[in-house]
Every structure is written in C-alpha cells, then in structure tokens.
Structure 1
Amino acid sequence: MMLLPHLPWPSALLLEAAPAEADSSLILAGVLLSLVVIYFASKLGGELSKLVNLPPVLGELVGGVVVGVSFLHLLIFPEGGATASDSLLITVLETVAGLTPEAAAGVFQSQGEVVSVLAELGVIVLLFEIGLESDLRELQKVGYQAALVAIVGVVAPFAGGTLGLMFFFHVTAIPAIFAGAALTATSIGITSKVLSEIGRLKSTEGQMIVGAAVIDDVLGIIVLAVVASLAKTGEVDLVNVAWLIVSATVFLLGAIFLGKFFNRSFEAVAQSLQTRGNLVIPALTFALIMAFLANVIHLEAILGAFAAGLVLDETDLRKELDRQIMPIADILVPIFFVSVGAKADLGVLNPFVAENRAGLVIAVFLLAIAIVGKLVTGWVVFGTPGINRFAIGVGMIPRGEVGLVFAGIGSASGVLDKPLEAAIIIMVILTTFLAPPFLRIAFQQSPPLDPTPDPNPAAS
C-alpha cells in the first residue's frame, strides 16, 4: 500500500477495487457450484422418485435434504444460523482460492442470498404456470366451497393446536398461539406441483384445492400479522389486520375483473412485436409486475404471479405461452424445491439429543393436529356428488416453506423455546414429505380424469 501514492490515481483505484472484484467473482463461483449441486440433486431425486411411482417433487425435496444441512452440507443457508465453516462448498472455495475466514463469511452470506432470490423467482414462475393451467371459470364455480375449505383449514388446526398445547402441555398463551398459527399454513407450491404431475390440476378437486390454498395463503398472512403483533407488543394491531384483509380482497378480485379488459391489449402487444420473446417476455413482465404489487401491499408475491396466470389463462395465446414458459420453469422451479429440502434440519428428529426429546413429544401432537385439521376440510364440501373428499383434505396438508417462515419468525422474536421450535420444524418437515405420496394414493380412489397424463407437465 505504500506504493499507491506514487501511482496515477486511476491505477490506485483499480488496485483498491481488486479485492472487491475478486470477492464478486468468488460469489459467482459459489452460486455456480450451488446450482450444479441443486440441478444434480433435483434430477437424481426426481428420477429415483419416478422409478418407485412417487411424485418427482418428493424426490426433489429429498435430494435437497441430502445435499443440505441434514447430511452433505453442500447447500447451506445462513438464515438457519449456519456459518461459512459449515458449508462444504465454501471449504472448497477456501482451498482453491485461498479465501481468508473474513472473505469466506462474506461469500457465504452473499451466495446464500443469491440462491434464495433464485428460489423465490422459481416459486413465482411456478405459481404463474399454475395460474395459466387453472381454469378461471372452474375456479369461480368452486369459489365459495374453496373459501369454506380454506376457512375450516385455518380455524380447525389453529384452535386444536393452541388449546391442546395450553391444556396438555401447559404452554403459555402467546407461544401456544404462535405454534397454532404455524399449523394453519398450506404450501400451494408443493400441492399444485403434485396435482400437475399426476394430471389432476384441472379436476374439480384440483381446482378446489388450488383455490382453497390461495385463500389459505391470504388468511395465513393475516394470522401471521396477528401473532407477530402479539409477539412484539402483546397486542394486536387491528388497523394492520383490517388493511391486509381489504388489500388482499381488492387485489385478487380486481386482478380477475381487470383481466377481462387486459387480455385484448396483451394479445395485441404480443402480436405486434417482431423479435424473439414477443410472447413470453411480455407475459413474464406482467407476472413480475403483479408479484411486485402484491409484495408492496404486504401480500405474498406468489399471489400476484398466480393472479397474473389466471388473467392470461383467458387469452387465445395460452397454449403457446404454456409451451414457452415450460423451459424457464424447468430451470428455476427446482431451485425452490431443493432449497426447501436443504433448509430442513432432520437433526431435530434425533431422540438421543436430550433437548430434542421434549420437542418430539410435542411434535407428535402437532403432527396429529396438522393432519386431522386439514383432512376435515374435505368433509365441509357440499352439493358436489362423487367428490373425493379425502383427496381435498390431503391436498391441504403440506406446510412447506410457509411453515418454516412461521418457525423462523417465532424463533427470531424469542417467543418459542427450543422444544416448541423443534416440534414446529418436525411438523413442517413431515407434513411436507408425507403429503405428495398420499395425494397420489388419494386420487387413486377417483375415476381417471386424463386418459394419458402429460409426461412433462408445465409445472414439472
């Protein structure tokens, strides 16, 4: 550094910037290695799952578990409390590039953030596809029943979990309410992917499950706002809750209503463009705008993407758009599912660790409530003879990434003690992994819908 004053100042600036550039290149190297691991785990897990006649999404989740924090430590994320020394990929970079511990920590943090953003983009594309595959007219037919399924699917597990924890395990009110709230979630991404893979997305049950899961997601956000307020202040911010209810209702209904007028403009724009991507780029731009609008009014971005898909489902260009979106989804969606599996720490299932034992006992109770509380939703459907009620209930079971969000917020706020936090994580893991195979079994009770299910469904 003593030589810098003797150099022309642009050269000095370049030398000072060199470490930052090196760090950026190593961040990119870490992300590239992470993607190699993700795609390998995704394809291997999906193919093995297909061989034993299970939904490929289950194989992607299991592949994520194998390469994640539970086993190989190849795909590790800092938000779980891990450090750079826990990641085998960072160890490889340290060996190859001679990273210092300080630089390794920065690369680890940035790499995890980039992969998480790619995973979020993956689930946005997935929900956009599900919206495209869904039939808005069919969704409207089952809308009131889907709403009833969603409400029961929130109230039943919330009440059962909260009251059961207080009565049987003597958990105090606020932690019990938080744990009960974690039971209300439904992972629309996992369920919709399985429905698409088995050719049941357009069935009456499939449309009812997707509609209920969307409404359930909105209700889950409202419940989360309530319990987060309780955790911080001990009081509920009624103004915030009212705002969420109004904004969610206006957003979803407004998107569907305006879509009737937007379709013609979209088709005109797509047909007037002459360069590559004339259809898929405007469509994805619309989906991202809708996801952004949902996000800024404190809803989930995936709700905006789903609404965008529903809107464009009405266009005459939908089939071609489905075909063009598919390869984009093939690249981004596996990042989401493998990341969900990688973040699931199966170490909390180890009964030989003393602090896990209390959590395991509570987890058995929460798992029972989580399953029963969603299964009963199928039996509130009425006026539809021959409906597969069991399949509807099973489709609402997986908690996935939504349940992990609840656990993470509860842990960060200090509301949950270690046994209760471990119990929630166990419940999330088991419902996520049990639902896909049982959903396939549940639909075996129904007559075939598609004579030949699509071997390469759009959400695959």
Structure 2
Amino acid sequence: MLATATEADQGPIVLAGVLLTLIVIYLASKLGGELSKAVDLPPVLGELVGGVVVGASALHLIVFPEGGAQAADSLLMTVLQAIAGLDPRAAASVFESQSEVISVLAELGVIVLLFEIGLESDLRELQKVGYQAAVVAVVGVVAPFAAGTVGLMFFFKVSAIPAIFAGAALTATSIGITSKVLSELGHLKSKEGQIIVGAAVIDDVLGIIVLAVVASLAKTGEVNILNVIYLMIGASAFLLGSIFLGKFFNKSFVAIADRLQTRGKLVIPAFTFAFFMAFLANVIQLEAILGAFAAGLVLDETDKRKELDREVVPIADILVPIFFVTVGARVDLSVLNPVVPENQQGLIIAAFLIVVAILGKLVTGWTVFGQASINRFAIGVGMIPRGEVGLVFAGIGAASGALDKPLQAAIIVMVILTTFLAPPFLRLAFKESADKQPDLIG
C-alpha cells in the first residue's frame, strides 16, 4: 500500500502510474495484434485499434493532458488515487508526470521504428528496379500530397500547417503489408512486385523527408518559403550525406563491434550511432526520426546487417507498441459521430482523404512506361496501404499540436481503411494471372 504523497515524494507514485499504464499498453498491443493476425490483417492495425479501445474513444484507461484530459478522466489514475490516497492536486501532478514519461517512451519507440525501417530499406534493391520505381514513387508522393493539401485548404478552409501535415500523411506506402501479400501471391519477384517494393522504399525515404519538413514547420507555426526550401535541402542533404559518409564509417563500426567482448557488443554501438544521428538531426532543426532513419540506412550496408536486424527486433518489440497504442489512445473517434452536427464536416474530410489516398496512388500504375504487358492496376493498388508509416505522421502531427482532433481522427480512419482495403484488392488485381508463372525481371 502506497503512502499518501506530497510533491517531494511522488516519485514512487509516478513510477506506479507508469507501470500500470505500460501493463495496459502491452495487453492492448498484444491482444489487438493477435486478433488482427487471426483475421489475416497487419498486427500494427490491431495495436492501433487496441489503443483506440483503451484510450479516449472508449475505456479511458489511457488519456493525455495535451488532449484536454484531467486526472479524473483517467480510470488508471482513479485506481491509483484510491490506492495512494492522493488529494486532487497531487493526483493532477502525478497524472502529468506519468503522461510525460509515457510520451517520451512513445517518442523513443518511433525513433527505434524509423531506425528499424532504415535497416530494412535495402539500397541495393533500389538500384535494381531503377528509374521505373523512382517515377512511381515520386508521383505517389506528389499527387496525394498536392491534392490533399490544396483540397483541404480550398474546399474545407483548413489552415496551411494542418493541411500540409494531412497532405503529408497521404504520401507514405507501407512496404511491409504490400510485400507480405505479394509474397503470398507469388508475385514478389515479378516486374510489378519489384516496382511496387522499390517504389514503396523510395516512398518511405521521400515521406520521411516530407515529415521532417512539415514537423519542423509545425514548430514555427508558419509557412515561410525560404524556411521550407532550407528544410527540404537540409533534410535531403542530411540523408544523402549520411549515406555517403556511411560508406567510410561502416568498416570502423564493424571493427569496433568485433573488438568488443561483452554483451550487446553489436546492438549497443548501433543504438549509440542511431541516437547520435537522431540528436544531430534535432540540433540542425530537423526531426530526430530522420537521423534514426539515416542511421538505419547506413548500418544496413555493413556486413553485420542481418545479425543487427535480429538484435534490434526485440528492442523494437518493447518500445514500438508504446508508440502505436498511444497514437490510438490519443484519438477521440467521438469527433466523427455523425449524430452530432458539428462532427459532420470531420466525416466529410475523412471521406475526402480516403478518396485522395486511393486515387493518388492508383494513378502511379499508369506512370510506368515501356512495359506494354505490365499490370498497371496491380502497381497502383500495391501502393495504397499507408500502414505504420501513416500512423507515424498522425502521431507526430498530434504531438506537435498541428492537427486538431477531427483532422487527426480523419487521418487515422484513412490509414485504417487503406490498409484494410489493399490486401483484398491486390489479390483481385492479380487474380487473372494467378495460374500463370510471373514474369521475372530479365
């Protein structure tokens, strides 16, 4: 039984609140992921939905003060308050402190996630698919970003920063979801499959640059053309410079890892490098996630990349679910309740984003040239799912204050629906050629 706390000795109470919150997060993550996997959907969607269930939309077990919640709104805090005998003022202080700790853990989770994505983004594979994938990727970023941003500002009078953030959320493509379905269909090594996967990887690179730019814009609160140009050039130069310098760093990294004899001799230097790159990106007014992603790309070129991939996975398994569950927990889907008149515009915005998200990627199939027999519809469909990358945009946009509740909820709905729709439509796109041997890239 915890003693009644004063401000001087709230540390154990805050720790108790953090531990309770983590218990709920991991239960929601695992139950949601397993249920999602059971119905042949990406586990990350289950983690997101689990967060929605335990968060502001349903059970109110996990809520955050940034969303306007108070200690009394959290069922976990109510339990903790009863156990510890906290007065309302002390409960409010503990609530803010434990929420801040969870938010920091979630940010660490997204940094680890982007480091992991960087490790999985094989630069050698990008060189194989070449210019075709590059064209598909660029169109797949520019078309939905431009249509989403301009449409929100013109039709819905959304201000510039939120509109740009929402438009940026439309740019991503989930390589994990598409690759899984292509592999199941036996089309991963086909012309269509290679173009889709290559374009999805390039999409992620371009998307992270866009995210770094818009997140930095959200901090300043205004759109300054010179600042935008600086951020775009800065983010691109940082990424390309990191990859270039990484060719010289890789041998040193391997040599250091080989000389170390204690536990964590590979993973600790790797995360030290990733956190340093994240810190460096932050210092030069870019996003920490860009640095982590760049670190992943660099270390993917080392001889120890496969071993490193295996060692990063359990760390990601611990931290990344915190990010996804808290993203879902912060979403208040009641703002999309059609019964409430004020919510109707939010629903219309969600429908608009879904249409742009689908059409903006479908058109990419018709940008492939010089391939008369290519399945253009399959390429377009393969680019549709936003998955975990789209959730990263929504989470960072909400944390920065750039997105209000209706727009954040609309983006979450867009991510969920595009991720749900892509697998069955991809199967349908390849149905006619399912009994044929896929054409391999010659």
| 1:366–1:424 CA contact under 8 A, matched in 2 | no
Shift of 1:207: 3.3
CA 1:43–1:403 in structure 2 vs 1: closer, same or farther (change >3 Å)?
Answer: closer
Partner amino acid, structure 2, of 1:324 = E
| 1:33–1:89 CA contact under 8 A, matched in 2 | yes
Shift of 1:256: 0.9
Is 1:175 the equivalent of 2:159?
A: yes
CA 1:318–1:359 in structure 2 vs 1: closer, same or farther (change >3 Å)?
Answer: closer
Q: List aligned pairs for 1:115-194, cutoff 5 A.
A: 115-142=102-129, 148-149=135-136, 151-161=138-148, 163-165=150-152, 168=155, 171=157, 175=159, 178-179=162-163, 181-186=165-170, 191-194=174-177
- After superposition, the C-alpha distances for 1:290-332 in whole angstroms (9 at most, x for unaligned) are 1111222222222222221221112221221122112111111
Distance 1:105 1:206 in 2: 48
Residue of structure 2 in register with 1:433 after alignment: 416
Distance 2:402 2:236 in 1: 30
| 1:348–1:356 CA contact under 8 A, matched in 2 | yes
Residue of structure 1 in register with 2:339 after alignment: 352
Equivalent of 2:268, from 278, 281, 291?
A: 281
Is 1:214 the equivalent of 2:216?
A: no
Distance 1:181 1:153 in 2: 16
Distance 2:123 2:52 in 1: 36
Partner amino acid, structure 2, of 1:208 = A
Distance 2:367 2:414 in 1: 21
For structure 2, the residue ranges without an aligned partner over 5 or more in a row are 435-442
| 2:178–2:382 CA contact under 8 A, matched in 1 | no
Distance 2:86 2:199 in 1: 52
Distance 2:219 2:289 in 1: 21
Partner amino acid, structure 2, of 1:209 = A
SS at match of 1:395: coil
- After superposition, the C-alpha distances for 1:325-361 in whole angstroms (9 at most, x for unaligned) are 1211111111111111111111012122232123323
SS at match of 1:287: helix
- After superposition, the C-alpha distances for 1:156-188 in whole angstroms (9 at most, x for unaligned) are 33443455456655x3xx626742552222586
For structure 1, the residue ranges without an aligned partner over 5 or more in a row are 1-17, 413-420, 449-460
Residue of structure 1 in register with 2:27 after alignment: 40
Distance 2:299 2:400 in 1: 35
Which stretch shifts more, 303-312 or 403-412?
A: 403-412
Is 1:25 the equivalent of 2:9?
A: no
Equivalent of 1:94, from 70, 74, 81?
A: 81
- After superposition, the C-alpha distances for 1:271-303 in whole angstroms (9 at most, x for unaligned) are 101111111111111111111112222222222
Residue of structure 2 in register with 1:65 after alignment: 52
Distance 1:123 1:96 in 2: 33
Residue of structure 1 in register with 2:437 after alignment: none
CA 1:407–1:305 in structure 2 vs 1: closer, same or farther (change >3 Å)?
Answer: closer
Shift of 1:210: 2.5
Q: List aligned pairs for 1:366-405, cutoff 5 A.
A: 366-382=353-369, 385=374, 388-396=378-386, 399-403=390-394, 405=396
The number of equivalent residue pairs is: 415
Which stretch shifts more, 178-187 or 251-260?
A: 178-187
| 2:20–2:76 CA contact under 8 A, matched in 1 | yes
| 2:254–2:302 CA contact under 8 A, matched in 1 | yes
TM-score of the two chains, using structure 2 as the length reference = 0.83
SS at match of 1:210: helix
Distance 2:228 2:99 in 1: 32
Shift of 1:403: 3.4
Partner amino acid, structure 2, of 1:312 = L
| 1:163–1:176 CA contact under 8 A, matched in 2 | no
| 1:374–1:396 CA contact under 8 A, matched in 2 | no
Partner amino acid, structure 2, of 1:424 = L
Distance 1:359 1:306 in 2: 33
Residue of structure 2 in register with 1:300 after alignment: 287
| 1:390–1:442 CA contact under 8 A, matched in 2 | no
Distance 1:246 1:431 in 2: 29
Partner amino acid, structure 2, of 1:216 = G
Distance 2:97 2:182 in 1: 38
Distance 1:25 1:148 in 2: 55
CA 1:148–1:20 in structure 2 vs 1: closer, same or farther (change >3 Å)?
Answer: farther
- After superposition, the C-alpha distances for 1:230-270 in whole angstroms (9 at most, x for unaligned) are x65xxx43332232122112111111111111111111100
| 2:72–2:78 CA contact under 8 A, matched in 1 | yes
